Amino acid sequence: MATTTFTKKSLGLETNEPAVTPPPAKGGQTNFAKKPKLGSGKSKKRDIPEGLWTKCPKCETMVFDKELDENLKVCPKCEYHFPVGARERIHSLVETCTFEEMDAEMTSVDPLKFVDKTPYPRRVQEHQTATNLKDAVLTGICKIGEHRVALGVMDLSFIAASLGSVVGEKLTRLIERATEKELPVIIISTSGGARMQEGMLSLMQMAKTSAALAYHAQRRLPYLSVLTHPTTAGVMASYASLGDLILAEPGAMIGFAGPRVIKDTTQAELPPGFQTAEFLLDHGLIDAIVPRKEMKQRFIQYLDFLNNRLKVATATSA
């Protein structure tokens, strides 16, 4: 019990002890039940619970998480668009209870028995547990305003929303269903690139999704592609850049290879704002930049417009 005495002495608490602590038990032993509270200085830190505030990477303001959620994950000070999960995004866009998910249980296999730092099946499993998603895209038929729409939304938190065979297959089935039911397609993309753990099978998804969109286009049905931060590589080189209308969120990084790779390859200085949505709008690659809060309304406007055009076209060709 010598240690107890030592601790109290070292903290300078022993002088006040007798008044609040019962007298030591026989043999000079301390009653541990009445140990004084230590380290009261810590409570200041605990007044601000962790995870309630997020620092905006653009303006460095501390934003209250609840405020951020209510603002659709957009910084209220500088309009920086934080990444947003697929479920959250669907919730903000579609009419309540209208989203009928397709292929909800589809999950990756491991054709190459691929192992990097962890075996591929374990990596998939870990992301499934962490994100509560089966893979990096959610697809389904829903209503946006009065329009029935085939909607696909990618989620960056699942292996950087890489384009693997599940993402490709789910989107292809979505597009094919839309073609069959004569529905417009909206795909909200974000991606770090191809799912390298699936090798060639991952690259095949670019051709497969593009072919499905070609059949959809042959039927003169609209496809809206939305590019969010970041949309790169295989996704940008296939379905994300094939929209009849290509929209982007403000400040989104959009490109094929990253700026460093391009700079190293071309040995040229890149222009300011290179690969941002704003730069691409100026250069004609995308049609409009739409803030997240206006996205739903803009979808409705565009679909109204495209549907009316379609009706007129069908009527005149008949």
Residues at the site binding Zn ion, with contacts judged by CB under 5 A? 56, 58-59, 75, 77-78, 80
> Pick from 92, 90, 210: which is nearest to 155 by CA?
90
Angstrom distance (rounded) from CA 187 to CA 165: 17
Q: Which is nearer to Zn ion, 63 or 303 (CB)?
A: 63
H helix and E strand count, the chain: 12, 9
Nearest residue to 221 via CA among 179, 187, 258? 179
Q: Which is nearer to Zn ion, 54 or 307 (CB)?
A: 54
Q: Supply the minimum distance, in Å, between the C-beta of residue 74 and Zn ion.
A: 9
Tokens for 71? 């603002």
Nearer to Zn ion, 61 or 92 (CB): 61
Q: Which one, 78 or 160, has the nearer CB to Zn ion? A: 78
The encoded tokens of residue 295 equal 């996205």
From the CB of 75, what's the least distance to Zn ion, in Å? 3
**Alpha-carbon gap, residue 209 to 189, rounded angstroms:** 13
For residue 288, the cross-strand partners are 247
Q: How many CB atoms lie within 10 A of CB 205?
A: 26
In the complex with Zn ion, which residue's Cβ is closer, 82 or 114? 82
**Residue 306 Cβ, how far from Zn ion at the closest point, in Å?**
34
- Other C-beta atoms closer than 10 Å to the C-beta of 32 total 8
For residue 293, give both structure tokens.
């809060």
Name the H helices within 163-258. 165-181, 199-218, 233-236
| Strand runs labelled E in the chain | 53-55, 62-64, 100-102, 137-144, 147-154, 185-191, 223-231, 245-248, 288-289
Minimum distance from residue 89 beta carbon to Zn ion (Å)? 20
Q: Is 70 or 126 the residue whose CB approaches Zn ion more closely?
A: 70
* Per-residue tokens: 286: 């995308």
Q: Which is nearer to Zn ion, 80 or 158 (CB)?
A: 80
Please report where in the chains the tokens 């209870």 appear, as a residue. 97
Q: In angstroms, what is the minimal distance from the CB of 60 to Zn ion?
A: 7
Determine the Cα–Cα distance for residues 239 and 153; give it in Å rounded to an integer.
Answer: 13
Residue 70: CB minimum distance to Zn ion, A: 15
Per the CB < 8 A criterion, the answer to whether 74 and 229 are in contact is: no
> CB of 63: closest distance to Zn ion in angstroms?
7
Which C-beta is closer to Zn ion: that of 205 or that of 276? Answer: 276
Cβ at position 77, least distance to Zn ion in Å: 5
